[in-house]
Amino acid sequence: MGRLFGTDGVRGLANGDLTPELALSVAVAAARVLVESDGSHQPLAIVGRDPRASGEMLEAAVVAGLTSAGANVVRVGVLPTPAVAFLVAQTNADLGVMLSASHNPMPDNGIKLFAAGGAKLPDELEARIEQAVEDGHGLVGRPTGAGIGRVHDLLDGAEHYVKHLVTSTPHSLAGIKVVVDCANGAASEVGPTAYEEAGAEVIAIHAEPDGLNINEDCGSTHLDKVQERVVAEGADLGLAHDGDADRCLAVTASGEIVDGDQIMAILALAMRDAGTLTEDTLVATVMSNLGLRIAMKQSGIRLVETKVGDRYVLEELNGNGLALGGEQSGHIVMPAYATTGDGVLTGLHLMAQLAASGKSLADLAAVVHKLPQVLINVKVGDREAGAAAPAVLAAVGKAEQELGESGRVLLRPSGTEPLVRVMVEAGTEEQAREVAERIADEVRTASPV
């Protein structure tokens, strides 16, 4: 078996790489590894999903696996990933399972796991679950009779989650008009509801999931639709979520994109001024633009850097008691209110700063002067080989010498797809693109599809 867990759980083509049999095995292994039962109670698991059609099939397999391992299961239906994490904590569940492939196309799906308290799993626990799946230990010694888990449905989970979100919002959103692209995903109902209850005037688009249209030319990976609609409606801003709503990107009233780096900067400054930015520190990943680093330094805010993945941002935040972190892609983590990245929470707090300051999103985002950045996702046959080939590393070294301190190169294999990501920042877009294309060509040669 190859590496089972990627950057964010188990992900693959539903009923291809990610079969019901695999989902059942992962569920059994997760129950065995994550639950330290003393026999005084049956473990409790929360299971949610995004609206993609294959989630119905995989949910059935996961529920079967958990109950066969002796865990009681509460199904919460279609909800954002952060809502499932929230409900794990609220119900004192022993573990949580979210079925989603996030921003991936509809045919894909994934399994995200949460430990007690709603926290994502550290590498060590994922490795133990992966080993248990490979060894097949979960297939023996299962309970029988009254020891088999039971299944219940939670019908008001969305209401509890929305109330939590709105209560966290530091300022009324009255007077703000927002267009929200829900990606035909898990936030299609709770996103617009939360924004409206916080006081905003909401125009929701791509909020009619049918199981097949999730992320299809919409959401945080296709911002052109929300850009057009914001301008057409004369809205103050636009927000875009991904399929499981753990991301939030924004656009200004004129349709300019505001990415996760800029959103983090806006929130960091607001929290610093409010005295809630612990140690005046922001946590970001290596993918964040140099412009964010410069802006934070000029504002007296320390920037701590992690590997790519909101789980690593979370580890840094939780390990040091910090209050804000995230990724350029729009995963923003605010541990005071959520145990994982939460797109709707991010949207609420971003709009609260607009309302409190009276400034436009464009004015607030201008604190970050982004260096031109080019990201090329290179399809490869072997992502590890494509990233580590000698010719590729030589090309990277040459590029770094050329750029000096005025730019940088970041090369990394994707944790979820057969891709090598080549990112280059430079003084001009032309230079960044030329360098990135040169390195990407070496990657393609080193590991052809």
Check the annotation: does 259 bind a ligand: no
102 is catalytic: yes
Among residues 25, 100, 102, 447, the one annotated as catalytic is 102
Check the annotation: does 246 bind a ligand: yes
Check the annotation: does 8 bind a ligand: no
Matching residue, tokens 């995903």: 185
Instruction: Classify residue 36 as exposed, middle or buried by CB count within 10 Å of its CB (0-12, 13-18, 19+).
Output: exposed
Check the annotation: does 244 bind a ligand: yes
47-73: string of b/e by CB count within 10 Å (b at 16+)? bbbbbbebbebbbebbbbbbbbbbbbb
Binding-site residues for Mg(2+) sit at 102, 242, 244, 246
Q: Could you list the active site residues? A: 102
Question: Residues within the annotated binding site?
Answer: 102, 242, 244, 246
